[in-house]
Amino acid sequence: MSDAYTQAWQASISDPEGFWMEASKAVAWASPPARAWDDAQGWFPGASLNTAYNAIDRHVEAGRGDAAAVIYDSPVTGTVTTYSYADLQNEVGRLAAALVRLGVQKGDRVIIYMPMIPPTLFAMLACARLGAIHSVVFGGFAPLELAKRIDDAKPRLVLSASAGIEGSRVIAYKPMVDEALKLAEHQPEHVVMFQREQAVAELQAPRDLDWTALLAEVAGDPVPEAAVMASEDPLYILYTSGTTGTPKGVVRENGGHAVALTWSMANIYGIGAGDVFWAASDVGWVVGHSYIAYAPLLVGATTVLFEGKPIGTPDAGTFWRIIDRHGVKAFFTAPTAIRAVRKEDPDATFLKDIGTRDLGVIFLAGERADPDTIHWLEEKSGLPVIDHWWQTELGWPGVATCFALGDTRRKAGSAGFPVPGYAFEILGDDGKPVGPEQSGFVAVKAPLPPGAFRTLWNNKAGWDKNFAAFPGYYETGDAGYIDADGFVHIMGRTDDIINVAGHRLSTGQMEQIVAATEGVAECAVIGADDAIKGMNPVAFIVPRAGFDGDATLTKRAIAAVRAELGAVAALKTAHIVAGLPKTRSGKILRNLLRKICNGDEWTVPATIDDPNTPAAIAAVVAADAAHA
């Protein structure tokens, strides 16, 4: 056990005031905090700062203007560009001046609907500089979902680009923005469009403005001063994926966000000034906000902005090629991305040929990492692979192995240990803590640490709901357990606990067993309705390369579950499919699979990565039922 980790965690729980006041010293404050917590004002009451100043200007002022801040690597366009901190300061300052010209003020909202290109980062940071609240909506998101977010946030402006590139597809954004604004009640004053040569958009005057032309107009305008923001002032709103009905806009506050992310880079990931960090995510998701746009820059590191896919742009060696090219020190991706790489390159030939150069550790998050994937990646890379867990609501890791605190303890299937600042409990239906190895509701004692949400935008009822089930605790919505060694195991959403003939079973546990079956690239297990037993588990299996025609694959997977969990597990049905329905962030849409199995009506979700997958799965389910 790492003494440094243990001491840090114990200090954060026994003396949170002292722990977070010490951590706050790593941030440049306009007015430093006199204390860490206030029940009414939250973290660092009375203090003020500017997040963009912390991420850019202070590094330039410290003489590091020539240091690399952002590396844009876009295999889909064949572009690699590096921006120094001085370059970033210039780009963000010019865009901030343009936003001021359009009337943007402190507290205004700005919707950003853009792909993974440098102007997207510039836009987020320019809003932060002015004290405007940005709300990034994943580029290419369906018009109706974009309209919901426009009506909820009521932005003064929409910043967009003419197109995004998804693999080999060019997706025009302007028609989706236009459709969203037809559906929305709130109308922003302007849409500012960054034109990409892959699909130039037609602009509609006077509402639509050309991004490049606007910057040219304000070339002589002064760069606005960094707005002084109270610690509790909002930095951004981020709507959780899959939102239906009332949008759930998580509000992130400036002060706690800056302190928590700065602490996490030094103590979880081991990244400081001059290091290269790559989170292979998208700024439309919380990982992209925290660990592409903000955290690396807050500590003066270099962040990699990647426009591409783990496979197909151009091949399954893309990750290793970029890690080698830029000297990445720590890499962060989703388990589903590694499974995709493994499916295409099961022997890790690209990894052997290219190598990992300066890479010291790989972090996984976004969904549960099955042990088989972790073991494969550790074996092929020779590096520690650390699964860790958090949520949009939390904003930074809640469970992890704090690698930079000298803690290398790992247990495949677990996300690690509580991160300093987080006090976890596993609660039973009665709201009381259960013992080691016992499953229950994963909850965190209130108040949540700095960086975690303290409110939802225009949605107090939604906020209250998070704390209603277990007073004094934030209910994460996940099920799990803490084992005898203190490892936290997140087994899946609480609605993935199914009741089979009176037995409560975890589909996450079944997935872990199926995933370890030889020939399985990835899988999902859901609970389908059953007239007699209430529910029955059903598995969906994507075969690994070379096992596509293996007639024994489903039988072996079913037998493995029965052997480990017994006949009570009742897994009798497994479908072989070409791919699983996923969000663009890599989360498997299990509720959609459940509807397909139950014969319920289903629609293609707005968040889906490949809209053709559900119909293909429905055809397989129907064909298998006909032959049963």
Best-predicted range by mean pLDDT (124-128, 489-493, 516-520, 581-585): 124-128
How much is the pLDDT for 230? 98
How much is the pLDDT for 567? 65
> Do 435 and 539 lie in a common domain?
no
CA distance 63 to 495: 52
Instruction: From residue 487, give the alpha-carbon distance in Å to each of 127, 390, 440.
Output: 40, 15, 15
How much is the pLDDT for 548? 85
Higher pLDDT pick, 63 / 531: 63
For residue range 157-193, list pLDDT tens digits in order: 999 999 999 888 899 999 999 999 999 999 999 999 9
Q: Is the pLDDT of residue 351 over 80?
A: yes
> Do 515 and 441 lie in a common domain?
no
Q: Is the pLDDT of residue 504 over 90?
A: no
For residue range 190-234, list pLDDT tens digits in order: 999 999 999 999 999 999 999 999 999 999 999 999 999 999 999
Q: Quick one: average pLDDT of 426-455?
A: 94
DSSP letters along 388-433, please?
-B--TTT-S-SEE--GGGT-----TT--BEEPTT--EEEE-TTSPB
Last residue of a domain, which of 451, 480, 509? 480
Q: Is the pLDDT of residue 241 over 60?
A: no
Residues of the chain with pLDDT > 90, as a percent, come to 78
**What does the mean pLDDT of the chain come to?**
93
> Do 458 and 529 lie in a common domain?
no
User: Is residue 442 included in any domain, yes or no?
Assistant: yes
Q: Quick one: average pLDDT of 297-315?
A: 97
User: Is residue 516 included in any domain, yes or no?
Assistant: yes
How much is the pLDDT for 530? 78
User: Is residue 490 included in any domain, yes or no?
Assistant: no
CA distance 576 to 560: 16
Strand partners, 192: 159, 209
Q: Is the pLDDT of residue 252 over 70?
A: yes
Cis peptide bond prior to 310, omega within 30° of 0: no
User: Is residue 166 included in any domain, yes or no?
Assistant: yes
> Do 407 and 509 lie in a common domain?
no
> Do 466 and 611 lie in a common domain?
no
Q: Are 78 and 53 in contact (CB under 8 A)?
A: no
> Do 36 and 121 lie in a common domain?
yes
Q: Quick one: average pLDDT of 7-11?
A: 98
> Do 561 and 607 lie in a common domain?
yes
CA distance 403 to 401: 6
How much is the pLDDT for 344? 93
Higher pLDDT pick, 351 / 462: 351
Q: 């990445």: which residue's tokens?
A: 328
Q: 């026994």: which residue's tokens?
A: 14
Q: Is the pLDDT of residue 565 over 80?
A: no
How much is the pLDDT for 463? 87
CA distance 104 to 228: 15
How much is the pLDDT for 167? 85
Q: Quick one: average pLDDT of 348-377?
A: 94
Question: The CATH number of the domain where 283 resides is what?
Answer: 3.40.50.12780
How much is the pLDDT for 110? 98
Q: If pLDDT is split at 50, 70 and 90, which confidence band does 243 have?
A: very low
For residue range 399-440, list pLDDT tens digits in order: 999 999 999 999 998 999 999 999 999 998 889 999 999 989
How much is the pLDDT for 503? 58
> Do 42 and 127 lie in a common domain?
yes
> Do 618 and 585 lie in a common domain?
yes
How much is the pLDDT for 369? 86
Q: Is the pLDDT of residue 242 over 50?
A: no
User: Is residue 383 included in any domain, yes or no?
Assistant: no
Question: The CATH number of the domain where 529 resides is what?
Answer: 3.30.300.30
How much is the pLDDT for 244? 43
User: Is residue 360 included in any domain, yes or no?
Assistant: no
Q: Is the pLDDT of residue 501 over 60?
A: no
> Do 570 and 447 lie in a common domain?
no
Domain that holds residue 110: 3-308+388-480
CA distance 535 to 506: 12
Q: Is the pLDDT of residue 109 over 80?
A: yes
- Nearest to residue 106, comparing CAs of 91, 116, 96, 115? 96
Q: Is the pLDDT of residue 245 over 60?
A: no
Q: If pLDDT is split at 50, 70 and 90, which confidence band does 538 have?
A: very high
How much is the pLDDT for 471? 93
Q: Is the pLDDT of residue 134 over 90?
A: yes
Residues of the chain with pLDDT > 70, as a percent, come to 96
User: Is residue 513 included in any domain, yes or no?
Assistant: yes
- Nearest to residue 256, comparing CAs of 450, 433, 53? 450
Domain tally, the chain: 2
Least confident piece of the model among 5-19, 185-199, 280-294, 531-545? 531-545
> Do 403 and 523 lie in a common domain?
no
User: Is residue 354 included in any domain, yes or no?
Assistant: no
How much is the pLDDT for 142? 82
Per-residue 3-state assignment (H helix, E strand, C coil) for 305-361: EECCCCCCCCCCCHHHHHHHHHCCCEEEECHHHHHHHHHHCCCCHHHHHHCCCCCCE
Tokens of 421: 């600042």
Least confident piece of the model among 7-16, 296-305, 567-576? 567-576
> Do 174 and 103 lie in a common domain?
yes
- pTM equals 0.86
